Amino acid sequence: MRSWSAPEVPALPVTGPEVSLHDTATGGRVTITPKDGPARLYVCGITPYDATHLGHAATYVGFDLLNRAWRSAGHEVRYVQNVTDVDDPLLERAAKVKVDWVELAERETELFRQDMQALRVLPPDHYAGAVESIPLVVEMIQALEAAGAVYSVDGDLYQSATADPAFGEESGYDRETMLRLFGERGGDPDRAGKRDPLDPVVWLAERPGEPSWPSPFGPGRPGWHVECAAIAREHLGAAFEVQGGGSDLVFPHHEMCAGHAQVVEPGARFAQVYSHAGMVGYDGEKMSKSRGNLVFVSALRNSDIDPMAIRLALLRHHFRADWEWTDAELFDAVDELGRWRRAVALGAGAPAAPVVTEVLAALADDLDAPRAVAAVTAWVDATLGTDGLADTSDPDAATAVLAVVDAALGVLL
């Protein structure tokens, strides 16, 4: 489906370092050095039944930093994102508010595009909806069948989770934790007839009143995990650099995606690194559509908040940290953005080269945006003379700082 328009990314005079990321699967640090081709990134997209909240925005801005850091390091990037435009929560919400599910998905996806564009998130090269990807899903299920990993429960198709010898390695969770999270996050551990409670559904046979598509397995619709596995495989290949998403996707979603892909392609590790953004909370709980404790990006934009201030507020937290949104965070970011703009408006300023180096180094270091922001703030303090005399010794400072803040942090001053 249609993506959104790309903001300009200014060229920088220096090349950034190679990016290293924390890998959920190993718990260690991995320096990613793509060779002979683009750096490949898959980030799990929205289920479009409600507007983009600040938790979603934090996750997509987080992985936008990776896209930008790779580009700064001289890599071409291939970025893929999905839209889960048919799934239980979308159908349930559409029924509840008495809106056609297609209309609801299209409306919320369009709003998401506008929010991402306003936040200057670089668009994916392939923006793939679940519905338009059904042929890919069917192909993947056939490959899973050919591997002997699929069985039916009353017409619904399941994959044996343990058909992948590496099952469990992505999350590293014990079975008890897996069973609990599977039940909490869309799985059906208690369904009678399953060979293993943890087996994920890959094809749901048609239910009365629900949409369905023809397939060799009868009319139905895709399971959730096989959707991302099939889309990633189509556009990025059997093995790629990074799969990203919020930490609520560590299990079962990313474990099952890896499982599907690794059964189809034995021996290949689906993603080299599994990277997970922290959960943003509000009013003491994880911000979530089902809890309803949401702050929408579009609502802030409609109340004339500069999207760059929203972006800066998000960047002041490490993407992997869990944190709590407060209005004060936003007002602080509005003030800080104003100071940054006053400093670059001067033209000359404190020496810019060390700031450029530090911003790129911070982002290459597991996307440490707070450290990058601190470097810019220190330059702004020195330039404005917050702590004494203003330093305007570098006549071209503003141009260099504007460029790195735009290219690496995505903030347009």
Chain residues in the site for ligand 5CA (CB under 6 A): 44-47, 55-56, 58-59, 82, 84, 228, 245-246, 248-249, 277, 279-280, 286-288
User: Which residue is associated with the tokens 């081709």?
Assistant: 37
DSSP assignment of 175-242 equals HHHHHHHHHHTT--TT-TT-SSTTPPEEEEEP-TTS--B--TT-SEEE-HHHHHHHHHHHHH-SSEEE
Q: Where are the beta strands (DSSP E) in 321-405?
A: 323-324
254 within 8 A of 243, measured Cβ to Cβ: yes
298 within 8 A of 111, measured Cβ to Cβ: yes
| Least distance in angstroms from the C-beta of 180 to ligand 5CA | 18
- Measured between alpha carbons, how far is 81 from 123 in angstroms, rounded to an integer? 9
Q: Which CB atom, from 168 or from 245, has the smaller least distance to ligand 5CA?
A: 245
Q: Which does 277 bind (CB under 5 to 8 A by kind): ligand 5CA, Zn ion, none?
A: ligand 5CA
Q: What is the 3-state secondary structure (H, E, C) of 164-180?
A: CCCCCCCCCCCHHHHHH
- Measured between alpha carbons, how far is 56 from 246 in angstroms, rounded to an integer? 8
| Least distance in angstroms from the C-beta of 10 to ligand 5CA | 28
| Least distance in angstroms from the C-beta of 209 to ligand 5CA | 22
287 within 8 A of 280, measured Cβ to Cβ: yes
Q: Which CB atom, from 149 or from 287, has the smaller least distance to ligand 5CA?
A: 287
Q: Which CB atom, from 71 or from 233, has the smaller least distance to Zn ion?
A: 233
Q: Which does 58 bind (CB under 5 to 8 A by kind): ligand 5CA, Zn ion, none?
A: ligand 5CA
| Least distance in angstroms from the C-beta of 84 to ligand 5CA | 4
| Least distance in angstroms from the C-beta of 45 to ligand 5CA | 6
Binding site for Zn ion (CB under 5 A): 44, 228
Q: Which does 383 bind (CB under 5 to 8 A by kind): ligand 5CA, Zn ion, none?
A: none
What are phi and psi for residue 145, nearest 5 degrees?
-65, -45
| Least distance in angstroms from the C-beta of 336 to ligand 5CA | 22
- Measured between alpha carbons, how far is 57 from 70 in angstroms, rounded to an integer? 20
Q: Which does 72 bind (CB under 5 to 8 A by kind): ligand 5CA, Zn ion, none?
A: none
Q: Which CB atom, from 244 or from 410, has the smaller least distance to Zn ion?
A: 244
Q: Which does 16 bind (CB under 5 to 8 A by kind): ligand 5CA, Zn ion, none?
A: none
287 within 8 A of 53, measured Cβ to Cβ: yes
Q: Which does 232 bind (CB under 5 to 8 A by kind): Zn ion, ligand 5CA, none?
A: none
- Measured between alpha carbons, how far is 47 from 26 in angstroms, rounded to an integer? 28
Q: Which CB atom, from 277 or from 411, has the smaller least distance to ligand 5CA?
A: 277
Beta-bridge mates of residue 30 = 21
Q: Which CB atom, from 70 or from 224, has the smaller least distance to ligand 5CA?
A: 224
Q: Which CB atom, from 45 or from 349, has the smaller least distance to ligand 5CA?
A: 45
| Least distance in angstroms from the C-beta of 141 to ligand 5CA | 17
